[in-house]
Amino acid sequence: MDSVVLLRPVPDPVEELELNDDGDDLDRDYLGYVLNEFDDHALEEALLLKEKGGGTVTVFGIGSADEMEQILYAALAKGADEAFKLGDQLEHMSVASQAELVISALQDRSYDLILTGVQASDELDGQLGVWVAAKLGLPHVSVVVGVTGSAGSVKVTKEFWGGITADYEVRPPAVLGIQAAEQAPRYVAVSLIRQAQQEGSLTQLDLEAPSDSSGVRITAVRLPETGGGAEMITGDESEAAERIIEIIRGAGV
Protein backbone atom coordinates (compact mmCIF):
# COMPACT_ATOMS: atom_id res chain seq x y z
CA MET A 1 0.00 0.00 0.00
CA ASP A 2 1.35 3.41 -0.95
CA SER A 3 0.23 6.16 1.39
CA VAL A 4 0.57 9.91 1.34
CA VAL A 5 0.19 11.55 4.76
CA LEU A 6 -0.59 15.25 5.20
CA LEU A 7 1.15 16.82 8.20
CA ARG A 8 0.12 20.15 9.67
CA PRO A 9 1.92 22.19 12.32
CA VAL A 10 -0.47 23.72 14.86
CA PRO A 11 0.17 26.07 17.79
CA ASP A 12 1.54 24.04 20.69
CA PRO A 13 -1.50 23.28 22.85
CA VAL A 14 0.49 23.62 26.06
CA GLU A 15 1.47 27.20 25.27
CA GLU A 16 -0.54 30.15 26.48
CA LEU A 17 -2.21 31.85 23.54
CA GLU A 18 -2.03 35.63 23.19
CA LEU A 19 -3.83 37.92 20.80
CA ASN A 20 -2.33 40.37 18.32
CA ASP A 21 -2.84 44.13 18.66
CA ASP A 22 -5.65 44.21 16.11
CA GLY A 23 -7.51 41.54 18.05
CA ASP A 24 -8.20 39.51 14.92
CA ASP A 25 -5.61 36.75 15.19
CA LEU A 26 -3.20 35.14 17.61
CA ASP A 27 0.05 36.90 18.28
CA ARG A 28 2.17 34.45 16.33
CA ASP A 29 5.57 36.07 16.85
CA TYR A 30 6.65 33.80 19.66
CA LEU A 31 4.25 30.96 19.16
CA GLY A 32 5.72 27.46 19.09
CA TYR A 33 4.22 24.87 16.75
CA VAL A 34 3.93 21.11 17.02
CA LEU A 35 2.50 18.45 14.75
CA ASN A 36 -1.31 18.26 14.97
CA GLU A 37 -1.92 15.29 17.28
CA PHE A 38 -4.31 13.54 14.88
CA ASP A 39 -1.72 13.80 12.08
CA ASP A 40 0.65 11.87 14.30
CA HIS A 41 -1.98 9.13 14.39
CA ALA A 42 -2.36 9.32 10.58
CA LEU A 43 1.39 8.88 10.18
CA GLU A 44 1.39 6.00 12.65
CA GLU A 45 -1.40 4.25 10.74
CA ALA A 46 0.52 4.68 7.45
CA LEU A 47 3.69 3.26 9.01
CA LEU A 48 1.77 0.28 10.41
CA LEU A 49 0.22 -0.42 6.98
CA LYS A 50 3.67 -0.33 5.43
CA GLU A 51 5.15 -2.61 8.08
CA LYS A 52 2.32 -5.13 7.66
CA GLY A 53 1.89 -5.15 3.89
CA GLY A 54 4.78 -3.33 2.29
CA GLY A 55 4.57 -0.23 0.15
CA THR A 56 5.67 3.31 0.83
CA VAL A 57 4.89 6.27 3.03
CA THR A 58 5.25 9.79 1.66
CA VAL A 59 4.63 12.87 3.79
CA PHE A 60 3.52 16.33 2.63
CA GLY A 61 3.67 19.44 4.76
CA ILE A 62 2.41 22.93 4.03
CA GLY A 63 3.43 25.61 6.46
CA SER A 64 5.80 28.42 7.17
CA ALA A 65 6.37 27.42 10.77
CA ASP A 66 10.05 26.89 11.56
CA GLU A 67 8.95 23.60 13.03
CA MET A 68 7.66 22.28 9.67
CA GLU A 69 11.00 20.86 8.59
CA GLN A 70 11.57 19.34 11.99
CA ILE A 71 8.18 17.64 11.73
CA LEU A 72 9.01 16.26 8.28
CA TYR A 73 12.44 15.02 9.40
CA ALA A 74 10.84 13.33 12.38
CA ALA A 75 8.48 11.55 10.00
CA LEU A 76 11.45 10.36 7.93
CA ALA A 77 13.19 9.17 11.07
CA LYS A 78 10.10 7.18 12.01
CA GLY A 79 10.13 5.38 8.67
CA ALA A 80 8.58 7.60 6.01
CA ASP A 81 10.29 7.15 2.63
CA GLU A 82 9.99 10.63 1.20
CA ALA A 83 9.09 14.06 2.55
CA PHE A 84 7.93 17.12 0.63
CA LYS A 85 7.41 20.66 1.74
CA LEU A 86 4.80 22.42 -0.38
CA GLY A 87 4.54 26.19 -0.46
CA ASP A 88 5.14 28.05 2.72
CA GLN A 89 2.57 30.65 3.62
CA LEU A 90 0.04 28.62 5.50
CA GLU A 91 -1.34 31.50 7.52
CA HIS A 92 -4.46 32.85 5.89
CA MET A 93 -4.24 30.36 3.04
CA SER A 94 -7.71 28.98 2.42
CA VAL A 95 -8.38 25.25 2.57
CA ALA A 96 -9.30 25.45 -1.12
CA SER A 97 -5.84 26.84 -1.91
CA GLN A 98 -4.11 24.26 0.25
CA ALA A 99 -6.10 21.58 -1.56
CA GLU A 100 -4.82 22.90 -4.88
CA LEU A 101 -1.25 22.70 -3.63
CA VAL A 102 -1.78 19.13 -2.48
CA ILE A 103 -3.43 18.17 -5.77
CA SER A 104 -0.57 19.55 -7.83
CA ALA A 105 1.96 17.77 -5.63
CA LEU A 106 0.02 14.53 -6.16
CA GLN A 107 0.28 14.78 -9.92
CA ASP A 108 2.31 12.01 -11.56
CA ARG A 109 2.43 10.20 -8.25
CA SER A 110 0.65 6.93 -7.71
CA TYR A 111 -0.91 6.28 -4.33
CA ASP A 112 -3.57 4.11 -2.74
CA LEU A 113 -4.40 6.18 0.31
CA ILE A 114 -4.15 9.78 1.39
CA LEU A 115 -4.19 9.88 5.18
CA THR A 116 -4.87 13.07 7.12
CA GLY A 117 -5.63 13.84 10.72
CA VAL A 118 -9.35 14.01 11.41
CA GLN A 119 -9.21 17.76 12.01
CA ALA A 120 -7.02 20.65 12.97
CA SER A 121 -8.77 22.84 15.49
CA ASP A 122 -7.23 26.03 14.10
CA GLU A 123 -8.64 25.72 10.60
CA LEU A 124 -11.88 27.54 10.09
CA ASP A 125 -12.93 27.00 6.52
CA GLY A 126 -13.00 23.26 6.05
CA GLN A 127 -11.14 19.99 6.24
CA LEU A 128 -8.36 19.61 3.77
CA GLY A 129 -8.62 15.86 3.25
CA VAL A 130 -12.31 15.79 2.42
CA TRP A 131 -11.82 18.85 0.21
CA VAL A 132 -9.02 17.17 -1.77
CA ALA A 133 -11.19 14.06 -2.14
CA ALA A 134 -14.18 16.01 -3.43
CA LYS A 135 -12.01 17.90 -5.92
CA LEU A 136 -10.35 14.70 -7.18
CA GLY A 137 -13.61 12.74 -7.16
CA LEU A 138 -12.16 10.25 -4.66
CA PRO A 139 -14.08 8.54 -1.86
CA HIS A 140 -13.42 9.78 1.66
CA VAL A 141 -14.08 8.52 5.15
CA SER A 142 -13.54 10.74 8.21
CA VAL A 143 -13.17 9.81 11.88
CA VAL A 144 -11.40 6.56 11.06
CA VAL A 145 -10.18 4.34 13.91
CA GLY A 146 -9.07 1.28 11.95
CA VAL A 147 -7.61 0.49 8.52
CA THR A 148 -6.79 -2.94 7.10
CA GLY A 149 -6.43 -4.45 3.67
CA SER A 150 -4.38 -4.25 0.54
CA ALA A 151 -3.92 -1.88 -2.36
CA GLY A 152 -6.92 -3.40 -4.13
CA SER A 153 -9.42 -3.16 -1.32
CA VAL A 154 -9.32 -1.40 1.99
CA LYS A 155 -11.52 -1.97 5.00
CA VAL A 156 -11.95 0.96 7.33
CA THR A 157 -13.75 1.47 10.62
CA LYS A 158 -15.45 4.79 11.19
CA GLU A 159 -16.50 5.90 14.64
CA PHE A 160 -19.82 7.66 15.22
CA TRP A 161 -20.62 8.28 18.87
CA GLY A 162 -21.45 6.31 22.02
CA GLY A 163 -18.94 3.69 20.93
CA ILE A 164 -20.92 2.84 17.77
CA THR A 165 -18.79 2.19 14.69
CA ALA A 166 -19.35 1.09 11.11
CA ASP A 167 -17.09 -0.87 8.81
CA TYR A 168 -16.79 0.10 5.16
CA GLU A 169 -15.12 -1.41 2.17
CA VAL A 170 -13.41 1.35 0.25
CA ARG A 171 -12.05 1.15 -3.28
CA PRO A 172 -8.71 3.00 -3.41
CA PRO A 173 -7.44 5.53 -4.10
CA ALA A 174 -9.24 7.06 -1.16
CA VAL A 175 -8.81 9.75 1.48
CA LEU A 176 -9.08 8.81 5.14
CA GLY A 177 -9.30 11.22 8.09
CA ILE A 178 -7.65 9.40 10.97
CA GLN A 179 -8.94 9.89 14.51
CA ALA A 180 -6.81 7.27 16.19
CA ALA A 181 -4.24 4.79 14.91
CA GLU A 182 -4.33 1.17 15.98
CA GLN A 183 -1.66 1.95 18.54
CA ALA A 184 -0.44 5.14 20.16
CA PRO A 185 1.98 7.00 17.86
CA ARG A 186 5.59 5.88 18.25
CA TYR A 187 8.33 8.08 19.62
CA VAL A 188 11.55 8.66 17.78
CA ALA A 189 14.95 9.40 19.24
CA VAL A 190 16.30 12.90 18.63
CA SER A 191 19.49 11.34 17.30
CA LEU A 192 17.54 9.65 14.52
CA ILE A 193 15.85 12.94 13.62
CA ARG A 194 19.25 14.58 13.46
CA GLN A 195 20.50 11.79 11.25
CA ALA A 196 17.54 12.25 8.87
CA GLN A 197 18.33 15.95 8.83
CA GLN A 198 21.93 15.28 7.86
CA GLU A 199 20.90 12.96 5.09
CA GLY A 200 18.86 15.89 3.81
CA SER A 201 16.17 13.86 2.12
CA LEU A 202 13.56 16.57 2.29
CA THR A 203 12.32 18.03 -0.99
CA GLN A 204 11.00 21.55 -1.29
CA LEU A 205 8.41 21.70 -4.07
CA ASP A 206 8.17 25.19 -5.48
CA LEU A 207 4.54 25.21 -6.36
CA GLU A 208 2.78 28.41 -7.10
CA ALA A 209 0.52 29.25 -4.20
CA PRO A 210 -3.02 29.78 -5.38
CA SER A 211 -4.65 32.82 -3.91
CA ASP A 212 -8.37 32.21 -3.92
CA SER A 213 -10.00 33.48 -0.78
CA SER A 214 -12.24 31.28 1.29
CA GLY A 215 -14.79 34.07 1.59
CA VAL A 216 -14.58 33.62 5.34
CA ARG A 217 -13.06 36.39 7.45
CA ILE A 218 -12.22 36.56 11.13
CA THR A 219 -13.24 39.99 12.42
CA ALA A 220 -12.41 39.51 16.09
CA VAL A 221 -10.95 36.89 18.42
CA ARG A 222 -11.31 36.62 22.17
CA LEU A 223 -9.73 34.58 24.90
CA PRO A 224 -12.25 33.13 27.26
CA GLU A 225 -12.50 35.03 30.52
CA THR A 226 -10.11 33.57 33.08
CA GLY A 227 -12.17 31.12 35.04
CA GLY A 228 -15.06 31.53 32.64
CA GLY A 229 -18.28 31.26 34.54
CA ALA A 230 -16.87 29.14 37.34
CA GLU A 231 -16.62 30.14 40.96
CA MET A 232 -12.90 29.85 41.56
CA ILE A 233 -11.81 28.16 44.75
CA THR A 234 -8.88 29.85 46.46
CA GLY A 235 -6.40 28.56 48.96
CA ASP A 236 -3.86 25.77 49.03
CA GLU A 237 -4.59 22.13 48.19
CA SER A 238 -5.76 21.33 51.70
CA GLU A 239 -8.25 24.19 51.80
CA ALA A 240 -9.34 23.50 48.25
CA ALA A 241 -9.88 19.80 49.04
CA GLU A 242 -11.97 20.78 52.05
CA ARG A 243 -14.13 23.08 49.93
CA ILE A 244 -14.51 20.56 47.10
CA ILE A 245 -15.75 17.91 49.52
CA GLU A 246 -18.22 20.44 50.92
CA ILE A 247 -19.48 21.18 47.39
CA ILE A 248 -19.82 17.48 46.60
CA ARG A 249 -21.78 16.87 49.81
CA GLY A 250 -23.92 19.89 48.97
CA ALA A 251 -24.79 18.31 45.64
CA GLY A 252 -26.55 15.52 47.53
CA VAL A 253 -23.91 12.82 47.24
Partner 1 sequence: MSDVFVITEHLQGILTETSFELLAMARGIAGSGKVTAGLVGSGVGDLASQLGGADAIVVVDDPAFEVFNPEGHARVFAALVDESQAPVVLVPYTSMGMDVASDLAARSGMPLVSFCTSVGAEGALGATCRLYAGKIEADIEVDGERAIFAVLAGSTPAEQGRSGGAAIVETVSSPVDAGSLSVTCLGVTLPAGGDVDITSQDVLVVVGRGIESKDNIEEAQELADALGGAVAASRPIIDQGWLPKSRQVGKSGLTVKPKVYLTLGVSGAPEHIEGMKDAGTIISVNTDPQAPIFGVAHYGWVGDIFDILPELVEKLEAG
Ligand X SMILES: Nc1ncnc2c1ncn2[C@@H]1O[C@H](COP(=O)(O)O)[C@@H](O)[C@H]1O
Ligand Y SMILES: Cc1cc2nc3c(=O)[nH]c(=O)nc-3n(C[C@H](O)[C@H](O)[C@H](O)COP(=O)(O)OP(=O)(O)OC[C@H]3O[C@@H](n4cnc5c(N)ncnc54)[C@H](O)[C@@H]3O)c2cc1C
The binding site for ligand X (CB under 6 A) comprises: 6-8, 36, 38-39, 42, 60-63, 90, 95, 98, 116-117, 119-120, 123, 127-129
Q: Considering only residues 32-51, where is the footprint of partner 1 by CB under 8 A?
A: 37, 41
Of positions 163, 187, 198, 208, contacts partner 1 by CB under 8 A: 163
Q: Considering only residues 103-142, where is the footprint of partner 1 by CB under 8 A?
A: 118-119, 121-128, 130-131, 133-135, 138-142
Q: Considering only residues 7-46, where is the footprint of ligand Y by CB under 6 A?
A: 13
**Which residues have a Cβ under 8 Å from the Cβ of 173 and sit 6 or more positions away?**
111, 112, 113, 114, 138
Q: Which is nearer to ligand Y, 3 or 142 (CB)?
A: 142
**CA-to-CA separations, 26 to 66, 68, 235, 247, in angstroms, rounded:** 17, 19, 32, 37
Interstrand relation of 57-61 and 3-7 (parallel, antiparallel or unpaired): parallel
Segment interacting with partner 1, rule: CB under 8 A, options 46-54, 58-66, 196-204, 213-221: 213-221
For residue 221, the tally of other CB atoms under 10 A from its CB is 13
Helix 67-78 × helix 190-199 angle, to 10°: 100
Question: Out of ligand X, partner 1, ligand Y, none, which partner does residue 117 contact, by CB within 5 to 8 A per kind?
Answer: ligand X
Tell whether residue 143 is a contact of ligand Y (CB under 6 A).
yes
Helix 95-106 × helix 128-136 angle, to 10°: 60
Closest residue to ligand X: CB criterion: 117
